[in-house]
Structure 1
Amino acid sequence: MKVGYRWLQEFVDIPETPQQLADRFTNVGLAVDALEIAGSDAIFELDVATNRPDCLSHLGVAREIAAIYGSELRTPKFQLREAEHRAADVFSISISDPDLCARYCGRYIAGVKIGPSPDWLKARLELLGVRPINNVADVTNYVMLGLGQPLHAFDADTLAGQQIIVRRADLDEKMTTLDEVERQLDPSMLVIADAKRAVAVAGVMGGAETEISSATKNVLLESANFDPLSIRKTSRALGLTTEASYRFERGADVEMARFACDRAAALIEEVAGGTIFRDVIDVYPRRRTPVTATLRRQKIQGFLGVPVEDAIVEGIFQRLGFNITKHSHDGWTVEVPSHRVDISREEDLLDEIARHHGFDRFPSTLPKWSGFGSHLPFESDERFLRSRLAAAGYSETIPMAFSDESTERKFRPQIEPVKLINPMAENEAVLRTSLTPSMLRTIQWNTYHGIRDLQLYELGKVYWDGGETRSLIIAATGSLRPKSVHEAEREFGFYDIKGDVEDLLRSFNVAMQSAVNSVPAYYHPGRSVRLGDLVVFGELHPDYARDYKMRNRIYIAEFDVQLLFESRMRGSIEAVPRFPSIRRDLSLLLSKGIKYAEVEQAVRSVAIPELAGVEPFDRLESGSFPESKYALAISLTYQSEDRTLTDDEVDVFDRRILESLTERLGAELRQ
């Protein structure tokens, strides 16, 4: 919302500079996004909260300034010259749905001359970023920016039956709006209609057939008040947001409708000529019931932390336009002005006291706490997991959980995604079913910005129609170790991601057991592994990498985090062995195709209690042995808890293990 410093000065005296006023705005909760000096004027760009529609005008902002400085607020003064003819004799206005239209005011102005606006009016609009159109349309925009009440001007001669009917749209009714787009309407939308057709989408935009043009002679001026929820739904359904809908959907002041209509009519007569017919046609079926709120004196100290003097409280109420209807020992009851649609309860009044008394006058104290806190389920496990990943060189990413359906189906074709009823964008219409697309987009963005060496992870939720679960993805691309004067550059590879996966599983005491299940299609078929339902990891398929315009190989690993945590085995503390261990190395000849997992299984099947460990340490694919064989060197560690093992005992263990390897795998001891 843009407001002009000099325009504000027409409503209230401002004793400080624009820069000082900007600080004051911030202190009372009106955040200043920008302050632009434009010649002798200054333009404030305010970030107005959604619950403060009263500040979407110069008058509303001037009210805040008057409360800040204790100045007098000046409402616009104007002379309304009316003719003898009554507007109600020429036009009729009716409201068929008062739930959606609380009030509708109309003024009939005959004999106007459409043309460019005077320079002062065009300059003021242009300074606030509004494009001048013609003198009548510019007046409606000027009054809206000044008073906060949206208005619309019809070419009265194009309205059939000389009447206005505020009603719901008919089923399959259509109309063309001012932007030359044909709109499909439905009965949930409120329209302004004449005797034959809809001529405007209420509170959103007027119709092209009844707009003000150079041929317009007679004008019907509309100033109305519509239901905020209805306007918001209509605006979203049509994909059409305007300055009018922006104000109506937050809540306009119903009592401002008539004053703004009169103000606009007087200005139109001034800049476009014409005759204002007598009396405004004011259809107001349900008068506003004044809202009252009560503030208890002891609540001020209980809520804000310190007491505030009665004179200060009453002064704030008076400066803000609140009428004190009752003042007792317990507190105050006030009547809320019509423009403050955000005030309805005691906490709202306390907020007003805090804003205008000054937040800096309240001490920064924490509330007393007599309860207790506890971690969420698996919170400690997640912290440990993040710590391990950070130690391994991975950085966390936190993207949005939204995606588009076509992308999700490429990665999880068998899962039905959760579709959003009101998505923020077309490519954010579903909740993600996989963490992989968002991770690839993150890598793509970094690559485009010159960051090619990446190790990233995300710990987040994935969704499907009927449930959700937490998942972990780690991804890496580019160089693991950059080039230096001491060593060459080394690219991140498959065995690096495998090592990181093993490290995570080992830190949670989870065994790494491969499965024969197929890996997803977006993994490279020869460079990927699945470990049951727990984890799948490997290189991204080149076809998918090309879709994201990636040149380097990308390695990813996806974990079912909940299954990882549930599979975790708590480590036990064991005493330091009292007796030494003995290590024996065996060099075996095995047929190609035999995996190390089969070798280890054959060794452990002997069930020797003293066997403390077995691990491979060398492998030869060729040498002084047949081509159908390969050499594998393994290390066996023996240790007893109650004695020192002898060489004879260990020789027996070695023979038993060799016999098992020969029987099961046809292994030979390499000479």
Structure 2
Amino acid sequence: MTISYNWLSEYLPQTIAPEELSKILTSIGLEVESMEKYESIKGGLKGLVIGEVLTCEQHPNADKLKKTTVNIGGNEPLQIVCGASNVATGQKVVVAPVGTTIYPTSGEPITMKVAKIRGVESYGMICAEDEIGIGESHSGIMILRNDAQPGTPAFEYFNTYNDVIYEIGLTPNRMDAMSHIGVAKDVCAYLSYHKGQEIKPVLPYNNELIPDNLDLPISVTIENEEACQRYAGVSISNVQVKPSPEWLQNRLKAIGIRAINNIVDITNFILHETGQPLHAFDADAITGNQVIIKNLPQGTPFITLDGKERKLNAADLMICNAQTGMCIAGVFGGAESGVKESTTNIFLESAWFNPVSIRKTSFTHGLRTDAATRFEKGVDISNTVNVLKRAALLIKELAGGSISSDVVDVYPHPQPKTIVTLTYSFLKKLSGKQYSPTEVKTILTALGFEVVLENEIELTLAVPFSKPDISLPADIVEEIVRIDGLDNIAIPTAITISPAIETIGFKEALKDKLAQYLTGLGFIEIMTNSITNSSYFNEATLAHTVKMINNLSADLNVMRPSMLETGLEAIGYNLNRKNNNLRFFEFGKTYFTSELGHYKEEEHLCLYATGQTGEDEWNGKGKAFDFFDVKGFVAAVLTTAGIKHISFDKKESENSISLNVFSGKNNVGTVSYLLPKQLKQFDIKQPVCFADISFDKLIQAVQAKKIAYEEVSRFPSVQRDLSIIVNKRVTYADVQNVVNKLKLQKLTNMRLFDVFESDKLGIGKKSFAISFTFMDEEKTLTDKEIEAAVNKIIQVLEKDLEAEIRKQ
């Protein structure tokens, strides 16, 4: 929230220095994240003065330069060399004396120094408007009115606007502080409590709004009373749409809002003054002089102020005339009914719209406006008419015209105030501080709470409508502690706690171990959103997907059933920024449902690889990531986790070439080479390999493994190599399975080191070269024992896989 010091000070009955005000705001929970000076003209024209050209002569050594003397109100005039063609005797000008820093419209600041120009000394500069940041013109020096007095500071002559701007970090519940008056109320409550006297904010409301005539009556009907619980309006005729006065433009520009015209600027001013959004309609566009608040049919086209056509949802609340929609209620105005330069009659709206309805409409259409932000947090329903009258009188003052109707206020079901009971014992328990009943009532009444009932034990309060977030005793405690000052809560000298028992230490330790290992392999950890877009998935998947009831946007509407899609979003984002060689890993969860109320979540470790394994070097090009690289990474991760018996098997998949990963007989994940049709959805044009390890199953497998120490063997191992010819359909995993069935105790390892394919081997054939390692823990193996084991391997390969042993 952006707050102007000058603007805020208008509602405070006493002046507070900017630094002191910053401390108060932070103390009461309105944390000042930044505090910066604002100048309508950069540099504030400091050091610049008004001067009068006393003499103007030709420079003795330059045809295009003039030697002048200028009176700037001092004892002696300044000699200044000027290159402007329009400088002349008797002119009133802006002068930058020596030592003054000027801030040009473009370029860096310049500090004036004594200069010798073509042999003549110059003690300053006569300025053009672009040289001091006032405008863009550089056609000549600025020539001021004749009544300008030499020696007058330029910032006084041009009436520059200076301010201090606070950026306040509001928590989402603090709707009441989303305005200058709301912040002023908090500051006054703080002062009232700490100074021991009642200090109230200076409010600008004037309820004496008397119609000038009744020439423009407009009726209001609320058809959807749940979404619109109060609607007020008034007509103003014969207004003149024009630029706002300078004071109003300065107020808005200081907090970052562009001035448009007096009508729009007033609605923006009132929004940031009171927190109540307003909307001004061109009254001539209100067909039938009727305003109807209702819902239109699903898919109804509507053109908004930005010129875009949007298809309405049946749940979107609309402000309509007798024939069509004019405005998406509380969110965005329509192109046809908005205020234009030709507008002469307006209908001014002030309303209360249901926060849930506004939030849904705002996110559905992607319209995050200031008005929607206020309405979705809840505005003060009791202040609707006060703000309307304040705005109408301001429009009459700045845009002329006449109030041409009575104030229409449709409030079908007046809302009761929320009642909350606070016990003093609960206040002490939660705040850690003993407050007296008098202190409590002083703070709460200063904040607008009404005491309904009180006794020695508790206090029953009516909550002001301006604080819709307060409904619990804990909320009241927060208000008391805030206004007392968060720094005033004493810190105890000792804290008594019971030590917690760590129940997830093993899981977190394993995560950390694997993360460290993957980082060492060059992987970067990513964290993606667990909420994703339903359009990524088919109907079969969506049938078991957890859908968001109150989704943040149309693109974020389901809990992810798969880790792949959010990871591909991250890859696509990096590829679009020329970061082409990527190794990512992520720990995350997926979510499923079988029926309403029955939900399940699973934890995963996923690896993503794309691009090259390394950059191109002078001695060779980098190798592209392939399926086997990621397969190797997965095997290494499982081995690091302590799992020995790892195997892979084919998996049928529509969008990828995939293998299932097994730990023993348990499927713990998959390794996939993604096909272009899936990558196209994310605009990825280079191959991506993906591994998905079920972290839950990995934990189970690791915990089931018994840790045992094995002495390093004293006896040597022996290697034997075999080259076999098999059918192309046979995989190395098939070979492993066949050999493992023999359960040869002396066989400690087998490794594939070459694959060869050629028509010379036979049609549909390929060759595997495999190294077998044998070892006996108790003695040195003999050639006879090794040959017997190798023969068993050869026999089973020939029998089960129809393998042919290649002879060297």
Indicate the TM-score class for this superposition, using the shorter chain for normalisation: 0.7 to 0.9
> 1:118-151 deviations in whole A, cap 9, x for unaligned?
3323332333333444433433332232222222
Are positions 1:460 and 2:594 aligned together? no
Q: Distance in 2 between matches of 1:179 and 1:605?
A: 72
Count of aligned pairs? 651
* Match 1:660 to one of 792, 797, 801: 792
Are positions 1:135 and 2:262 aligned together? yes
Taking a change above 3 Å as real, the CA distance of residues 339 and 557 of structure 1, as seen in their structure-2 partners, is: closer
- 1:575-654 matched pairs, under 5 angstroms: 581=715, 583-586=717-720, 590-591=724-725, 611=746, 613-615=748-750, 634-640=772-778, 650=782, 653-654=785-786
Q: Compute the displacement of 1:668 (Å).
A: 8.2
RMSD: 4.7
Taking a change above 3 Å as real, the CA distance of residues 586 and 207 of structure 1, as seen in their structure-2 partners, is: closer
Paired residue secondary structure (1:74):
coil
Q: Distance in 2 between matches of 1:8 and 1:334?
A: 28
Taking a change above 3 Å as real, the CA distance of residues 112 and 543 of structure 1, as seen in their structure-2 partners, is: closer
* Match 1:513 to one of 625, 641, 647: 647
Gaps of 5+ in 2: 40-161, 193-198, 595-599, 799-803
Taking a change above 3 Å as real, the CA distance of residues 631 and 195 of structure 1, as seen in their structure-2 partners, is: closer
Aligned to 2:25: 25
Q: Distance in 2 between matches of 1:596 and 1:206?
A: 67
Q: Distance in 2 between matches of 1:658 and 1:227?
A: 80
Paired residue secondary structure (2:10):
helix
1:415–1:464 Cα contact (<8 Å) kept: no
Q: Compute the displacement of 1:356 (Å).
A: 1.8
Q: Distance in 2 between matches of 1:443 and 1:291?
A: 50
> Which segment drifts farther, 256-265 or 392-401?
392-401
Taking a change above 3 Å as real, the CA distance of residues 665 and 420 of structure 1, as seen in their structure-2 partners, is: same
Paired residue secondary structure (2:434):
coil
Paired residue secondary structure (2:459):
strand
2:211–2:406 Cα contact (<8 Å) kept: no
Give the letter for the 2:201 counterpart: L
Taking a change above 3 Å as real, the CA distance of residues 580 and 422 of structure 1, as seen in their structure-2 partners, is: same
Taking a change above 3 Å as real, the CA distance of residues 614 and 101 of structure 1, as seen in their structure-2 partners, is: closer
Q: Compute the displacement of 1:295 (Å).
A: 1.9
Q: Compute the displacement of 1:488 (Å).
A: 9.9
1:313–1:353 Cα contact (<8 Å) kept: yes
> Which segment drifts farther, 142-151 or 17-26?
17-26
Give the letter for the 2:185 counterpart: R
Paired residue secondary structure (1:82):
coil
Aligned to 2:244: 117
Are positions 1:61 and 2:183 aligned together? yes
> 1:93-114 deviations in whole A, cap 9, x for unaligned?
4444443333333334344444
Give the letter for the 2:390 counterpart: R
> 1:274-307 deviations in whole A, cap 9, x for unaligned?
3335853333333332333222111122112232
* Match 1:474 to one of 589, 607, 610: 607
> 1:301-336 deviations in whole A, cap 9, x for unaligned?
211223234443333223322233444221323332
Paired residue secondary structure (2:433):
coil
- 1:168-187 matched pairs, under 5 angstroms: 168-169=295-296, 176-181=303-308, 184-185=311-312
Q: Distance in 1 between matches of 2:298 and 2:536?
A: 36
1:111–1:275 Cα contact (<8 Å) kept: yes
Q: Distance in 1 between matches of 2:769 and 2:749?
A: 16
Taking a change above 3 Å as real, the CA distance of residues 618 and 306 of structure 1, as seen in their structure-2 partners, is: same
* TM-score, structure 1 as length reference: 0.79
Q: Distance in 1 between matches of 2:444 and 2:709?
A: 74
Gaps of 5+ in 1: none
* Match 1:251 to one of 372, 378, 382: 378
Q: Distance in 1 between matches of 2:303 and 2:676?
A: 50
* Match 1:267 to one of 386, 394, 397: 394
Aligned to 1:504: 637
Q: Distance in 2 between matches of 1:214 and 1:480?
A: 62
> 1:487-529 deviations in whole A, cap 9, x for unaligned?
9998687676454433333344341234354677545xxxx86
Taking a change above 3 Å as real, the CA distance of residues 496 and 126 of structure 1, as seen in their structure-2 partners, is: closer
1:519–1:529 Cα contact (<8 Å) kept: no
Q: Compute the displacement of 1:430 (Å).
A: 5.5
Q: Distance in 2 between matches of 1:589 and 1:273?
A: 98
- 1:145-156 matched pairs, under 5 angstroms: 145-156=272-283
Give the letter for the 1:317 counterpart: L
Are positions 1:328 and 2:451 aligned together? no
Q: Distance in 1 between matches of 2:709 and 2:306?
A: 82
Give the letter for the 2:188 counterpart: A
> Which segment drifts farther, 562-571 or 281-290?
562-571
Aligned to 1:347: 474
Q: Distance in 2 between matches of 1:635 and 1:107?
A: 93
Paired residue secondary structure (2:378):
coil
- 1:75-224 matched pairs, under 5 angstroms: 75-76=203-204, 78=206, 80=208, 82=210, 85=213, 90-169=217-296, 176-181=303-308, 184-185=311-312, 188-213=315-340, 216-224=343-351
1:519–1:536 Cα contact (<8 Å) kept: no
Q: Compute the displacement of 1:473 (Å).
A: 2.3
